Amino acid sequence: MSPQSDSAVRKLFSGPDGEVNYTCPQCGRSKTMDISNYFNLDRKIRFKIKCPCGYEERIMVERRDCFRKNTLISGVYLYERKPERIDIGTNRLFKRKPIEVINISSTGLRFRIIENHHLKVGDIGIAEFVLNDRNQSLIRQKVEIKNINNEEIGARFCLIDLSIGNFRNINFYLFNE
């Protein structure tokens, strides 16, 4: 395993423990690597890996606190201009914008707003969508916008309580589907 910098790479993910699980796409062998020594680097972590079967590939490691699942789910983002008045139990005075959920984790989501918007980092709203799981679980969760990149918006769930149905459904969706 040696650090690389190339554009044709496969992404792997590492949690806060610094471990990465690699599975060779050719033979299926798995290996857990400790990359915590590279965590202090202020750049992307890239490696070239050679499997004992002879297969070589380049990987890039993304450092994340939790796993994100890529998805494409339609939903709506509800918001109002006075975010301190948002009540998840009602629809009063909300502006509704159609969204596509791009990825989801146990702490937040990334979505794309279909229409023009005037949202800013720090705004509070409600993301509402139905998971494409067996139960078609409705998720209606208060979120805070953390970053905006053109039409893509990263948002963090405002209250994370794993005993609440939303989070049980999200975690089941992330790890059991």
Return the CATH number at 87: 2.40.10.220
Residue 2 pLDDT level (bands cut at 50, 70, 90):
very low
- C-alpha distances in Å from residue 155, one per residue of 24, 36, 59, 121: 33, 27, 27, 9
d(CA 40, CA 63): 11
Q: Please check whether residues 53 and 82 belong to one and the same domain.
A: no
The stretch 53-60 carries a mean pLDDT of: 92
164: left (phi over 0), alpha (psi -120 to 50) or beta: beta
- 157 and 75 within one domain: yes
The average pLDDT across 61-84 equals 78
Residue 91 exposure: Cα atoms within 13 Å on the Cβ side: 5
Regarding whether 120 and 92 lie in a shared domain, the answer is yes
69, β-bridge pairs: 104
pLDDT tens digit string along 96-123?
A: 899 999 999 888 999 999 888 888 999 9
144: confidence class by pLDDT, cuts 50, 70, 90? very high
Structural domain for 22, as ranges: 2-63
Is the overall model pTM greater than 0.75, yes or no?
Answer: no
How sure is the predictor about 30, in pLDDT bands with cuts at 50, 70 and 90? confident
Number of domains in the chain: 2
Give Rg (Cα) of the chain.
19
User: Tokens in use for 17?
Assistant: 């423990």
Q: What rounded mean pLDDT belongs to the chain?
A: 81
Q: Is the pLDDT assigned to residue 77 strictly greater than 90?
A: yes
In terms of domains, do 96 and 47 share one? no
Confidence of residue 169 (pLDDT cuts 50, 70, 90): confident
Please check whether residues 28 and 90 belong to one and the same domain.
no
